[in-house]
Structure 1
Amino acid sequence: MINSNHGTDYESMRLDRTGQANAFDSIGDRYDEAFPHKEGQVAAGTWLVESLAAGSRVLDLGCGTGVPTARQLADAGLEVTGIDLSPGMVKLAGESVPEGSFHQADIADLRPGGPRDLGRFDAVAAFFSLLMLPRAEIPLALRTIRHLLVPGGLFALSMVEADVDNFAIPFLGNTIRVSGYLREDLHKVVEAAGFEIVDETSYTYAPSVADVPPEEQVFLCCRRSD
């Protein structure tokens, strides 16, 4: 069974993301070469586009290179803000989506009372970014996302289905640490943070590089419960 760590807060955690950020600085746009087919991510982005009015503010949490999500949202007339730990990724996102606003920041920075305030958003997209956190922190990150959303705001989330916690894996010539949940446990964590799951899809995905194994990708379309 999972432990959602409701008693944990950021002040009691020592966060060090240096290794994760350095890995993605090194990977750069090779990430898009390794994951060329992103049908699930594009479909979840389409749900946001079709559900939001033109000009709505959307946060791309862990924006990476800005492709496809920030580009897709900006093309649909939405106001896109992106954050990423990796300065290299932030630079690439700014080049891919020059009309967006991109910042090197940590999800923990955006918590209530935290050091960064980017305002409130009509929607948040977090595609394969929360899996970079240890499980103890994921409920905190989800509650931060809820705080960032306007009442009734939308949340599109993707994770890899796996029963792992802060597990080191080789990834495109680097080592990163990842966490995951089995499907039912992921539902519980998301709903406990104050979200209603309105749609779910999953895809078996085989990256185009040898050192990243096939994975089961889960996409949840959610709404902030009020």
Structure 2
Amino acid sequence: MRLDRTGQAEAFDAIGNRYDEAFPHKEGQVAAAEWLIGSLPPGSRVLDLGCGTGVPTARRLTEAGFEVVGVDLSGGMIALARENVPTGVFHHMDIADLGPEGPCDLGRFAAVVAFFALLMLPRAEIPLALRTVRHLLVPGGLFALSMVEADVDDFSIPFIGRTIRVSGYLRDELREVVEAAGFEIVEESSHTYAPATVDVQPEVQIFLRCSRHT
């Protein structure tokens, strides 16, 4: 599959800290992180896919004693994450690099989080990305995922002064795609969110808490 990341990383390089200013309240992410903290022993390895600035997820997980590895396509975001979470380990790379046939091996993880990371991919790549997550997890490992509910595929939108391309599903289809990749959905929640910026529309955020089938 030919990957097209044109402009995606550059947009987030330019956005930088304005991302956290536009999305100041991340209750869904915080709740999912607390679920992991209550479910895993301290010292567990957790992968944060699309880690962004490292706030709040990577920071909270490291505070809880987890070994956190973050990955992001944006070098600017990785630089901010390293500043914000000095005890984490952060890599500037694409999720496609982490698959079974990919060039990078970060080992296996007790849990993976992907908060609004997969929506940056075309729909054709999302099932492969989910299978990559399954590959990265130990048997029975936990997976926390969030997406914006929308029936779109690689659709260009204005976003904090830039343009990005996003994909999404309606919630029933999202469940089907996640379960088909080898996950059991153990809990689901949704939040109606109005970002603190005029060029990002209010959205419905879906959070899934999953476990990897053995």
Short-chain TM bin: over 0.9
Task: State the alpha-carbon separation in 1 of the partners of residues 88 and 27 from structure 2.
Answer: 22
| 1:150-171 superposed Cα distances (whole Å, 9 cap, x missing partner) | 0000000000000000000000
The CA RMSD over aligned residues, in Å, is 0.5
Aligned residues: 214
- Structure 1 spans left out of the alignment, 5+ residues: 1-12
Deviation at 1:17, TM superposition (A): 1.3
Equivalent in 151, 154, 167 of residue 155 of structure 2: 167
TM-score normalised per structure 1: 0.94
2:141 to 144, 153, 164: 153
Match of 2:46 among 40, 54, 58: 58
Equivalent residue runs for 1:2-151 within 5 Å: 13-151=1-139
Aligned to 1:203: 191
Whole-angstrom distance in 2 between the partners of 1:108 and 1:40: 26
TM-score by length of 2: 0.99
Deviation at 1:67, TM superposition (A): 0.1
SS at 2:153's partner residue?
coil
1:220 aligns with 2:211: no
Per-residue CA shift, 1:76-111, capped at 9, x if unaligned? 000000000000000000000001000001000000
1:131 alignment partner, SS class: helix
CA separation in 2, counterparts of 1:65 and 1:18? 21
Aligned partner of 1:182 in structure 2 is 170
SS at match of 1:165: strand
- Listed as ranges, the gaps of 5+ residues in structure 2 are none
Deviation at 1:16, TM superposition (A): 2.4
- CA–CA distance in structure 2, aligned partners of residues 100 and 17 of structure 1: 26
Which amino acid in structure 1 is aligned with residue 155 of structure 2? F
Q: Which runs of 4+ in 1 moved over 4 A?
A: none
Spell out, residue by residue over 1:99-129, the C-alpha distance to the aligned partner (whole angstroms, 9 max, x if none): 1000001000000021010000000000000
Name the CA distance, whole Å, in 2 between partners of 1:134 and 1:18.
12
Distance apart, 1:14 and its partner CA: 1.2
| Residue type at the aligned position of 1:118 | L
SS of structure 2 residue aligned to 1:150: strand
Q: Matches of 2:163 and 2:139 in 1, distance apart?
A: 38
